[in-house]
Amino acid sequence: MTDRKAAEKSSREIALDILIEILEKGDFSHTQLNRTLKTQTALTKQDRSFITRLVEGTLERLITLDYILNGYSKVKVEKMKPFIRNLLRMSLYQLKYMDQVPDSAVCNEAVKLAGKRGFKSLSGFVNGVLRNIARNSKGSVFPLEEKEREEYLSILYSTPRWIIEKWLKDYDYETVKNMLAAQFEEKKYTTIRVNLAKNTVEELTERLKEENVETIDGNYLSCALKIQGFENMESIKAFAKGRFTVQDESSMLIGLIAGIQEKDFIIDVCGAPGGKALHAAELLKGTGMVETRDVTDYKVALIQENIRRMGLPNIKAVKKDATLKDEDSILKADIVLADLPCSGLGVIGKKPDIKYNMTREKQQELVKLQREILSVVSGYVKAGGILIYSTCTVNREENLGNVEWFTENYPFQLESLEGLLPEKLPCETKEKGYLQLIPGIHETDGFFMARLRKNT
């Protein structure tokens, strides 16, 4: 689409087209958003944040929005025309969750959009549904918490019921509520890790200030900063020069619990885009070597691009499938990082489409894949060496469940994390050798890590 044509589209129309791509055609939310915002050069900074909020918010609240719409429309959401269903979802999101937009403007804009895109005959329907919802100050009738706990949580926190059922088996009710609520916390800051091989925290803070990027300290680690006030990451010069990388503090902990020593040889078996491997290379202080692997050329290129940007000499990226035994690596590594593909339910606050795309069956398949990879790559650890197993999920089966299975079947023992974690970080299982970070409790992504020592 040309810039002139793009400029004729309102922010709402752009947001709606993005939502249709994601919800009707299955594209990933962050890919689709980034792609569109990059091409729509006529948009102001304000337009961009409005579109982002509208798309991410509508996705985050999808189950709640559909539940409310179904209470006001004879035609159920799934039977509506795709354009109309997404127009209603997006407009309802503004009515319910964006105070700064007056209700009448939301309804008028929705009617206009329906007409513009060839649905004039349905503009009365769109207007009726939205105005009825806006007029009903009492709101919708939700399932009762005391009677239908799972359904209540699913509708209120817009999270598929199977996830709620699973979490209620693994955690107490209050913890589950905290985890669910944490998805909707405002994401004001992006967490970054300072590349200490290129600058100190103070130097980077100063440079970012010169670029009008605000920084505050991370929650737990001195190499972590939280930043805001930029339009997109690529436009920050300090980023392009590899002075920092984007990484959640949960992931930074991997470098610490690995207990890296100078000259270590480290294999990261599932490495793209390279966050943990690059941190490991930095901790090696120019010595040793990190070999980071992934399964496709595309993923390996992503790692290589990050290696180039961060400018570290002791790391390389190669294409290797972690399910296939690499004879040359047997008993070679001081440390193996196994940050494996997982259900990703610890990061649904950042990537809301994960919760709708993941299923019980896919999750079961992932447990199998994780075990298959662990069986193969544990062979690469030297006798007495370390295997770090991690995932960005909160499901017990994929985390502690797998560790229990692994230690029963392979010659490894969990080893204490005492002295390896930041003092400030609450961790009751430190001594046991693993840590489950929980959104809403730890102010990080939901993340699991375990330190396993191979028997000598």
Ligand X SMILES: C[S@@+](CC[C@H](N)C(=O)[O-])C[C@H]1O[C@@H](n2cnc3c(N)ncnc32)[C@H](O)[C@@H]1O
Q: Tokens in use for 119?
A: 């649905």
Residue with Cβ nearer ligand X (21 or 294): 294
Residues 304-333 touching ligand X, rule: CB under 6 A, are 321-323
Catalytic residue annotation:
392
22 near 80, Cβ under 8 Å? no
Residue with Cβ nearer ligand X (94 or 370): 370
> Strands 289-294 and 265-268, how do they pair?
parallel
- Least distance from ligand X to the Cβ atom of residue 385, Å: 19
Q: Would you say 264 is a known binding-site residue?
A: no
Residue with Cβ nearer ligand X (186 or 297): 297
- Burial letters for 53-66: b for 16+ Cβ neighbours within 10 Å, e otherwise? bbbbbbbbbbbbbb
Residue with Cβ nearer ligand X (412 or 448): 448
Q: Which sign, positive or negative, has the C-alpha torsion 442, 386, 407, 378?
A: positive
Calpha distance 129→127 (Å, rounded): 6
Calpha distance 404→402 (Å, rounded): 5
The answer to whether 439 contacts ligand X (rule: CB under 6 A) is no
The one among 48, 299, 442, 454 contacting ligand X by CB under 6 A = 299
The one among 94, 251, 370, 378 contacting ligand X by CB under 6 A = 251
- Least distance from ligand X to the Cβ atom of residue 451, Å: 16
319 near 293, Cβ under 8 Å? yes
The one among 60, 339, 398, 445 contacting ligand X by CB under 6 A = 339
- Least distance from ligand X to the Cβ atom of residue 433, Å: 20
Q: Would you say 66 is a known binding-site residue?
A: no
Q: How many residues bind ligand X (CB under 6 A)?
A: 17
Residues 215-234 touching ligand X, rule: CB under 6 A, are none
Residue with Cβ nearer ligand X (242 or 274): 274
Residue with Cβ nearer ligand X (369 or 420): 369
Q: Is 4 helix (H, G, I), strand (E, B) or coil?
A: helix
Give the range of 134-142, 194-202, 235-243, 293-301 binding ligand X by CB under 6 A: 293-301
- Least distance from ligand X to the Cβ atom of residue 94, Å: 34
Calpha distance 283→254 (Å, rounded): 11
Beta strand extents in 415-455 (DSSP E only): 434-437, 447-454
Calpha distance 394→166 (Å, rounded): 10
Which residue is it, tokens 């929005």?
65
- Least distance from ligand X to the Cβ atom of residue 302, Å: 8
The answer to whether 238 contacts ligand X (rule: CB under 6 A) is no
The answer to whether 88 contacts ligand X (rule: CB under 6 A) is no
- List C-alpha distances in Å: 310 to 195, 275, 278: 7, 10, 8
Q: Is 425 helix (H, G, I), strand (E, B) or coil?
A: coil
Which residue is it, tokens 């490991």?
280
Residue with Cβ nearer ligand X (54 or 253): 253
The answer to whether 398 contacts ligand X (rule: CB under 6 A) is no
Q: Which position's Cβ is nearest ligand X?
A: 270
- Least distance from ligand X to the Cβ atom of residue 293, Å: 6
Calpha distance 188→229 (Å, rounded): 9
Q: Would you say 321 is a known binding-site residue?
A: yes
- Least distance from ligand X to the Cβ atom of residue 449, Å: 12
Calpha distance 400→410 (Å, rounded): 15
Give the angle 418-422-424 at the CA atoms, nearest 5°: 110
Q: Which positions from 255 to 274 touch ligand X by CB under 6 A, shown as an x/- string?
A: ---------------xxxxx
258 near 336, Cβ under 8 Å? no
Give the range of 151-159, 187-195, 289-297, 399-407 binding ligand X by CB under 6 A: 289-297
Question: DSSP label at 300?
Answer: H
- Could you tell me which of 11, 38, 430 has the C-alpha nearest to residue 233? 38
For the annotated binding site for S-adenosyl-L-methionine, the residues are 294, 321, 339
For the annotated binding site, the residues are 294, 321, 339
Q: Binding residues for ligand X, per CB under 6 A?
A: 251, 270-276, 293-295, 299, 321-323, 339, 341
